[in-house]
Amino acid sequence: MKRFMRARMDSFIPVHLLLPKFETEREMIKENNVRIDALRKTNGDKFFYLAEKLSECSEENPCFSFACPECIRRFRLKKISQLAFLCEDYCRWSMVTIVFFDEMVRDINDLNVLKIKNRLRKQLERAMIDDIVIGFIEVDFQVIYQRWVPHFHLLISTRDTDDTKWKVFSARFNEQVKQNHIEIVKYMPIKFDDLDDPLKQIAYICKFMWRRIETIYDRKKGKRKRKYYRLHRLQFANSLTKLDEFKLSDLEFMYNIRQYGCTLKEYVRDKK
């Protein structure tokens, strides 16, 4: 994060003014105090050291941690602007959510982000996808499975998701082997959406807020719905120490595009 935040960026979009629900500085200072308190109440050196790191963070001397809500807010303001400029012709772009149900883990410390990113990259290559794909990996704890579920929210430089290549990708991805003894309530490992509200959707892609998801059955409507909550304290503390381990290059996924400072450039692969 440090290199990206210190790189020069000529143009900014006033994201905090254009998105009514965008987090305020005051809200993030309050959230930081909540995180510090949760970490200090959890036994273990790693929690104590992270609490100290977050408590010493300031705008003048930032910690650049993905566990720090104040640093994340400043990062999001810059990253959302960067991606919004990339998708300026938003009628060409779509959003896709990809869920790796077969990479679910009981313990957040067993999560192998590099392995999951490499799997996704290889699957895109095998399907001969030549569009730009960029976004972030996210992990939520789904109570119904008692597992951490990794998934990607990504921008793709096409509206034609019915193209043969994306159909091949989707078909292969839907064949992922499900974990034994776990019945997926709604098996939808891949979902495409048009980029109709670019700023709001881009903000959703890079939010870095790992949460607990409860699946609730609505008897009146006869449907299941999901509700999002803050993680329980030990899970919350463990998720923060995990986030603190990551660099930007760990959490960000880029395919057919490269980043130089704050500049994104399309990368053309050799076609053999």
DSSP letters along 10-38, please? Answer: S----HHHH-TTPPPHHHHHHHHHHHHHH
From 149-153, 257-261, 268-272, the region with the lowest mean pLDDT: 268-272
Q: Report CA Rg, the chain.
A: 19
| CB contact set of 9 (below 8 Å; sequence gap of 6+) | 78, 81, 82, 262
| CB contact set of 227 (below 8 Å; sequence gap of 6+) | 213, 214, 216
φ/ψ bin of 206: left (φ > 0), alpha (ψ from -120 to 50), beta (otherwise):
beta
- SS3 of residue 41 by DSSP: coil
Q: Give per-residue pLDDT as tens, 191-237.
A: 999 998 999 999 999 989 899 999 887 767 767 788 899 999 999 99
181 confidence band (pLDDT: 50, 70, 90)? low
Name, of 1-15, 77-91, 181-195, 239-253, the range with top average pLDDT: 239-253
User: 233-245 and 25-40 are packed helices; what angle lies between their axes, rounded to 10 degrees?
Assistant: 110
Q: Give per-residue pLDDT as tens, 49-91.
A: 999 999 999 999 999 999 999 999 999 999 999 999 999 887 8
User: What local confidence, expressed as pLDDT, does residue 272 receive?
Assistant: 44
Q: Is 80 exceeded by the pLDDT of residue 188?
A: no
- SS3 of residue 110 by DSSP: helix
Q: Is 90 exceeded by the pLDDT of residue 189?
A: no
CA distance 114 to 120: 10
Q: Is 80 exceeded by the pLDDT of residue 269?
A: no
Rounded to two decimals, the pTM is 0.90
Q: Is 80 exceeded by the pLDDT of residue 271?
A: no
Pair of tokens at residue 219: 């008897």
